[in-house]
């Protein structure tokens, strides 16, 4: 995996200048979406492609974490970082599924193909750089999802894009707090495996959507309790 | 990147009123969620259109005024919470206060943009004086409870923005709502992570250092051309070639 990451072509890096989901921004600013303004299929397809790329990128990142030596600067936190990466990956899977459903239910065809990991040229394989890569990708995704509001025609697609985009802003802010060295994961997570920390990681962005989408719960989920402020 | 501003906050928690809490707290269209957050039975999901009398002129004015009402209440809620936090001399208390000031600054930016947008549409914006936050009944003043109160409110606000966005009729207004919504989910998840003890602040994050960079911009994407401010485009990418 590391060898693969270190040999990605310059062309791939240029295509994904912002890393990760940057391809969505590329597609959406190239006029593709505006050229097909009669429906939202071009926008939805760009977002599907971006989600598939994000899924693959997180998978590649998890591989880097697994392969990192014990001398890695974040070795003590490898378990929680991987658990968070897998949690965020799972949320991207949820996003992709809903986007596909919306596209096909509106008469579109899912013909965008598989995703590919978006690794920038010069990427050095270690845990910190995986966090940095994911931070960059989620920031680009959050911006792209917001910007597509200027192109989307149908209200339900606008709702979906906002519900996903604001989840990805949560991914971004959590990752950037670690990337910038403002916080570290709780000490109790040190030395534990990703499997052991899956439930803790799931508390970072507790739902895949901000509002319930087609039966998939959002932050409006009544089973997600609000905090009691009377104790 | 510039600091988002540090306006001093004052205390005002005299006007406890359960009914007004249910009408607004931090939100529009999510009254039920706010009520649940504060232990009250959900009573309504009606959008509070604020006090503007010209909501019929443009269909988006009422919804934007409702969001503006929610922003003013959020600003006031942080002001009231600051009074509790100011009494906490611990490092965590000071940090939480500094972060709360930054989040309040974000809400002020949101309110200014919504006010500008409503005015541009020919509407009459509701005012801060008309939209005061009422602490929930039984609220017990402490730093953790202020954090929880804010976290609840930010979550409900994000939900409300998403719900309202769907009903907005113009793309630019949806864009503004989305750019704000994603900022409020950032507030929510940062507060939740601290409340849950999922993360520990380092020496790089203190009351006097980097509190303005926790949520680095008031908008997800730049709203400058619509009367707002910078978005996350203003942030630099993290280097991915560090040797560790």
Min Cα distance B148 → chain A (Å) is 6
Mutate to test the interface with B, among A2, A88, A187, A227 (most CBs of B within 10 A): A227
Contacts B198 to A, Cβ<8 Å: 185-186, 200, 203-204
Phi, psi of A213 (to 5 degrees): -120, 115
**Contact between residue B150 and residue B74 where contact means Cβ atoms under 8 Å apart:** no
Closest residue on chain B to A177 (Cα): B214
pLDDT at B56: 52
DSSP for A7-29, written as a single string: T--HHHHHHTTT-TTHHHHHHHH
Angle between helices A41-67 and A78-105 (to 10 degrees): 160
Yes or no, beta carbons of B136 and A120 under 8 Å apart: no
Q: Is the pLDDT score of B180 beyond 50? A: yes
Nearest C-alpha neighbor of A120 from the set A112, A111, A128, A130: A130
Residue B237 has its nearest CB partner, among A18, A182, A206, at A18
**CA pair distance A38, A125, nearest whole angstrom:** 44
**Contact between residue A102 and residue A74 where contact means Cβ atoms under 8 Å apart:** no
CB burial of B93-103 (b: ≥16 within 10 Å; e: otherwise) equals bbbbbbbbbbb
ipTM greater than 0.90: no
pLDDT at B37: 35
User: pLDDT tens digits, chain A, 231 residues: what are they?
Assistant: 333 343 333 223 222 333 344 444 444 444 444 444 459 999 999 999 999 999 999 999 999 999 999 999 999 999 999 999 999 999 999 999 999 999 999 999 999 999 999 999 999 999 999 999 999 999 999 999 999 999 999 999 999 999 999 999 999 999 999 999 999 999 999 999 999 999 999 999 999 999 999 999 999 999 999 999 999
DSSP assignment letter at A226: P
Yes or no, beta carbons of A176 and B238 under 8 Å apart: yes
**Could you report the per-residue pLDDT of B215-237, keeping only the tens digit for each?**
999 999 999 999 999 999 999 99
Yes or no, beta carbons of B178 and A227 under 8 Å apart: no
**Does A110 contact chain B (CB < 8 Å)?**
no
CB burial of A56-92 (b: ≥16 within 10 Å; e: otherwise) equals bbbebbbbbbeebeeebebbbbbbbbbbbbbbbbbbb
Among residues 51-80 of chain A, which lie with CB inside 8 Å of chain B?
A: 72-74
**CA pair distance B93, A152, nearest whole angstrom:** 43
Phi, psi of A54 (to 5 degrees): -60, -40
Query: How many A-B residue pairs are in contact by the CB < 8 A criterion?
Result: 226
Yes or no, beta carbons of A227 and B243 under 8 Å apart: no
Closest residue on chain B to A72 (Cα): B244
DSSP for A126-137, written as a single string: SHHHHHHHHHHH
Yes or no, beta carbons of A210 and B193 under 8 Å apart: no
The radius of gyration computed from the CA coordinates of chain A, to the nearest angstrom, equals: 18
Lowest mean pLDDT among A29-38, A100-109, B11-20, B125-134: B11-20
Angle between helices A155-179 and A78-105 (to 10 degrees): 170
The mean predicted confidence, pLDDT, of chain A is 88
Neighbouring residues of A225: CB distance < 8 A, sequence distance ≥ 6:
none
Among residues 144-173 of chain A, which lie with CB inside 8 Å of chain B?
A: 145-147, 149-152, 155-156, 158-159, 161-163, 165-170, 172-173
The whole model's pTM is what? 0.86
pLDDT at B57: 81
Residue A210 has its nearest CB partner, among B185, B205, B210, at B185
CB burial of B13-32 (b: ≥16 within 10 Å; e: otherwise) equals beeeeeeebbbbbbbbbbbb
Closest residue on chain B to A206 (Cα): B189
Closest residue on chain A to B148 (Cα): A227
Place of tokens 């009402």: B69
**Does A176 contact chain B (CB < 8 Å)?**
yes
**Could you report the per-residue pLDDT of B49-68, keeping only the tens digit for each?**
344 445 458 999 999 999 99
**Pairing label, strands B199-201, A183-185:** antiparallel
Contacts B238 to A, Cβ<8 Å: 131-133, 135-136, 176, 179-180
**Could you report the per-residue pLDDT of B64-93, keeping only the tens digit for each?**
999 999 999 999 999 999 999 999 999 999
Contacts B67 to A, Cβ<8 Å: none
pLDDT at A8: 32
Q: Is the pLDDT score of B134 beyond 50? A: yes
Residue B240 has its nearest CB partner, among A129, A173, A176, at A129
**Angle (CA) B84 B87 B90, round 5°:** 115
Nearest C-alpha neighbor of B176 from the set B124, B123, B129, B219: B219
Q: Is the pLDDT score of B125 beyond 90? A: yes
Contacts A230 to B, Cβ<8 Å: 39, 136, 138-140, 145
């Amino acid at each position: 995996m590391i060898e693969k990451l270190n040999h990605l072509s310059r062309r791939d890096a240029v295509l994904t200048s912002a890393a990760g989901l940057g391809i969505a921004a590329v597609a959406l600013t190239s006029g593709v979406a505006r050229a097909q303004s009669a429906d939202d299929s071009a926008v939805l397809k760009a977002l599907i492609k971006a989600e598939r790329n994000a899924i693959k990128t997180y998978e590649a990142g998890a591989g880097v974490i697994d392969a990192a030596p014990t001398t890695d600067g974040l070795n003590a936190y490898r378990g929680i970082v991987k658990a968070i990466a897998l949690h965020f990956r799972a949320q991207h899977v949820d996003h992709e599924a809903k986007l596909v459903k919306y596209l096909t239910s509106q008469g579109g065809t899912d013909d965008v193909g598989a995703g590919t990991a978006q690794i920038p040229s010069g990427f050095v394989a270690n845990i910190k750089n995986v966090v940095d890569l994911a931070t960059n990708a989620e920031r680009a995704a959050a911006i792209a999802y917001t910007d597509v509001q200027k192109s989307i025609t149908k209200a339900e697609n606008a709702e979906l894009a906002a519900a996903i985009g604001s989840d990805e802003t949560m991914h971004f802010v959590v990752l950037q707090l670690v990337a910038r060295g403002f916080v570290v994961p709780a000490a109790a997570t040190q030395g534990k495996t990703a499997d052991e920390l899956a439930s803790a990681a799931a508390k970072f962005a507790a739902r895949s959507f901000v509002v319930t989408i087609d039966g998939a719960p959002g932050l409006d989920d009544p089973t997600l309790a609000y905090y009691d402020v009377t104790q | 990147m510039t600091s988002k501003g540090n306006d001093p906050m004052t205390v005002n928690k005299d006007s406890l009123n359960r009914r007004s809490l249910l009408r607004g707290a931090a939100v529009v269209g999510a009254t039920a969620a706010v009520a649940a957050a504060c232990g009250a039975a959900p009573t309504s999901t009606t959008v509070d259109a604020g006090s503007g009398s010209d909501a019929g002129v443009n269909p988006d004015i009422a919804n934007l005024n409702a969001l503006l009402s929610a922003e003013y209440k959020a600003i006031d809620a942080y002001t009231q919470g600051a009074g509790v936090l100011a009494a906490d001399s611990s490092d965590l208390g000071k940090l939480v206060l500094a972060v709360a000031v930054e989040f309040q600054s974000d809400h002020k930016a949101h309110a200014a943009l919504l006010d500008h947008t409503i005015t541009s549409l020919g509407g009459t914006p509701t005012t801060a004086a008309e939209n005061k936050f009422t602490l929930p009944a039984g609220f017990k003043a402490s730093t953790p409870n202020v954090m929880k109160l804010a976290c609840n409110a930010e979550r409900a606000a994000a939900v409300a923005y998403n719900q309202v966005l769907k009903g907005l009729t113009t793309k630019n207004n949806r864009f503004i709502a989305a750019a704000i919504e994603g900022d409020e989910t950032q507030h929510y998840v940062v507060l939740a992570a601290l409340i849950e003890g999922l993360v520990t602040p380092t020496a790089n994050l203190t009351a006097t250092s980097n509190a303005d960079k926790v949520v680095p911009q008031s908008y997800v994407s730049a709203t400058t051309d619509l009367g707002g401010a910078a978005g996350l485009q203003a942030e630099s990418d993290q280097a991915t070639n560090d040797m560790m």
